[in-house]
Amino acid sequence: MSLDTICGKLLNLPFLVLMLFLSVLLFGDSVCLPIKSQAYAISLLLKDVIVFILPLIIFSFVLNGILSLKNESIKVVLCLIPLVCLSNFAGFWISYIFTSPILKTGIVTISKLAPQNSLIPAWHIELIPLIKNDIALVSAVVIGIVGNFIKTNMLDRISLLLNNIANIVLKKVICPVLPMFVLGFIIKMQYEGTLTLIIREYAMLLGIVAILAYGYMFTLMFFLSEQNLKKTLQKFKNLLPSVLIGLFSMSSAAAIPTTIEGSQKNLQNKDLATFVVPATANMHLLGDCFAIPIIGLALMISFGYGFPNMGQYFIFTIYGVMAKFAAAGIPGGSALIFVPIFENIFGFTPEMLTAITAIYVLFDPIATSSNVFGHGMFTILFEKVYTKFFKRIELRQKI
């Protein structure tokens, strides 16, 4: 039974999530606090379970992907890192170029955040992963590349076994619990008034972030889809379940399994998805390339700072691209690693640093969902660039 069949039996995940969201929005106030706390606790547990088994999934998928690439594995890795840096760099500059004229007018201002209610989980059993995702990733890459040179059947059999186990976990464990996983976070957002606060206080800034991030990625996907709108919409539809998981869970890491599944539908070489998505899930956070700079630039205007020129912003961008390799796909994780960058380059005060972190957490659903969309879009970009670039090299060598 395929993952599509399982999700189909769940009445189609995007539709079900939408129904859950509307139900909580309309009837959430009538649900008593203990039930909300229990639902949130269950979602946290499910999230911890997903994060706990994520290193296994990353290791097995990346190892299997590398081994399937055979002699191409080194080329793939060498192509991947520069393309990630270039994509993040482009995101930073698109956000700067398009928002500068708007922010300089002063029509977007940021005020202090009002204290919000906080939903406390009824209980919390924390599961700590045995190994970190980056260790699993690097180990799989190294073992896979070495294995392609050694060419041992035993490693292929082990890789196939681990890949089968990972797929069973996805189909039998993760996919069936996704609706319950999302529900608790929707309840939390409704109880804490996050959505209404964003709409009331930061609607314009949030709109700028969402329009720019999604608009840029849709445009890029449109050109990657041979400028065919129907193909573009179909590819986005394939990624929609993972985008919704990112929206409500605020964790790009938790969306990795469904992002892989959606990306495989969008690629000719499906093996690339099992490698590229886990490998870039933390270091290619394209939505953050829009959310973090835009919030930071708006704060500079609101606090009376001079708007940074292109030279200053270029330095910020270089540090930002490097900082992406230390990012974590958890709520608010990206903002935290940018705190010292804003402080050292733009001279942010402690009050401004607190504000950018707090506002980013409010924007995190949109930022994370666009991060996940960016993961799926990047796999298409990578396949196009890798295929064209290395086919040209091979052709020249033959000539």
Confidence of residue 329 (pLDDT cuts 50, 70, 90): very low
- The domain of 58 spans 3-398
Predicted confidence (pLDDT) at residue 71 exceeds the cutoff of 70 = no
Q: Does position 109 have pLDDT exceeding 90, yes or no?
A: no
Residue 351: CB partners within 8 Å, gap ≥ 6?
none
DSSP 269: S
Least confident range from 80-89, 173-182, 228-237, 375-384: namely 173-182
Band (pLDDT 50/70/90 cuts) for residue 290 is very high
Let me know if 351 is exposed, middle or buried by CB neighbors in 10 A (0-12, 13-18, 19+): exposed
pTM above 0.75, yes or no: no
Q: Average pLDDT of the chain?
A: 79
Tell me how many domains the chain contains.
1
Closest CA to 312 of 110, 98, 105, 96: 96
> Tens of pLDDT along 221-239?
999 988 899 999 999 999 9
Question: Measured between alpha carbons, how far is 195 from 108 in angstroms, rounded to an integer?
Answer: 19
**Residue 366: which pLDDT band, with cuts at 50, 70 and 90?**
confident
Please report, for the domain that includes residue 151, its CATH number.
1.10.3860.10
What's the count of helices (H) and strands (E) in the chain, helices before strands?
A: 16, 0
- 289 vs 154: CA distance, rounded Å: 42
Q: Say how many C-beta atoms besides its own lie within 10 A of residue 330's C-beta.
A: 18
Q: In whole angstroms, how far apart are CA 132 and each of 128, 236, 282?
A: 9, 30, 12
CB of 69 closer than 8 Å to CB of 76 = yes
Nearest one of 361, 372, 394 to 255, comparing CA atoms: 372
Burial class (CB in 10 A: 0-12, 13-18, 19+), 32: exposed
